[in-house]
Amino acid sequence: MTVSNSTVLINLIKIGKVDLIKNIYKNITITGVIRKEVTREDELYKNEIRVFNELAGSFIIIKNPANLKDFGLHKGENSCLSLCKEIDDITFLSDDKNARKAADFLGIRVIGTLGILVSNLKKKKLNKKEFFTILRKLIDKGFYISTELFAAVEEYVNKIIL
């Protein structure tokens, strides 16, 4: 099972590339708290809300944890990690640095937006040019990546033989 925080989902919805998640996972599960984060009434996010609503029920499954725990994070991250702890063989999708650290500490496998892109590259769903075009679109839409990480990703991707 794959549980998603709002960050990866919103990042890819913003650039019209949710299919990159679909290329890897049959479906993803979010909590009710994450649903509220993604569908908040905001004029800036009309397209994201429309896309989310189209995916809800088929690709996106909503499930709440039976026992909500406080990991010292925001409500959304707490709800996701609580759900992850209730399920075996789980992957958590998140770009949030603190949520990723907590998941790692809890022994939960984590993948972020960059990991989704790399997985698509490895599965030959993207070529290197498409990878960097998408990464630049993400950055243009507010996705933060340090200069050092960008350089490391660029080096890694250029080493992948396709």
Please state, for a pLDDT cut of 90, what percent of the chain lies above it. Answer: 72
- Report the predicted TM-score, pTM, of the whole model to 2 decimal places: 0.89
Domain containing 104 — which CATH number? 3.40.50.1010
- Is there a single domain that holds both residue 127 and residue 52? no
- Is there a single domain that holds both residue 23 and residue 41? yes
- Is there a single domain that holds both residue 28 and residue 74? yes
- Is there a single domain that holds both residue 131 and residue 108? no
- Is there a single domain that holds both residue 17 and residue 77? yes
- Is there a single domain that holds both residue 119 and residue 136? yes
Between 66 and 14, where is the model more confident? 66
- Is there a single domain that holds both residue 150 and residue 119? yes
- Is there a single domain that holds both residue 122 and residue 74? no
The mean pLDDT value for 68-74 works out to: 95
pLDDT value, residue 39: 76
pLDDT value, residue 72: 94
pLDDT value, residue 57: 72
pLDDT at 44 over 90: no
The mean pLDDT value for 124-146 works out to: 95
Domains in the chain, number: 2
Q: In the chain, where does DSSP find H-type helix?
A: 6-14, 19-22, 32-38, 46-55, 75-85, 97-105, 113-122, 128-140, 147-159
- Is there a single domain that holds both residue 99 and residue 51? yes
- Is there a single domain that holds both residue 102 and residue 154? no
Query: How many angstroms separate the CA atoms of 9 and 21, rounded?
Result: 8
Label residue 81 by pLDDT band (50, 70, 90). very high
The label of the residue with tokens 């944890």 reads 65
The mean pLDDT value for 43-70 works out to: 78
pLDDT value, residue 10: 87
Cβ atoms 118, 157 nearer than 8 A: yes
- Is there a single domain that holds both residue 36 and residue 52? yes
Cβ atoms 46, 13 nearer than 8 A: no
The type of residue at 12 is L
The mean pLDDT value for 88-97 works out to: 94
| 108 CB neighbour count, 10 Å cutoff | 20
Structural domain span for residue 126: 114-159
Query: How many angstroms separate the CA atoms of 120 and 144, rounded?
Result: 20
From 53-62, 66-75, 78-87, the region with the lowest mean pLDDT: 53-62
- Is there a single domain that holds both residue 93 and residue 127? no
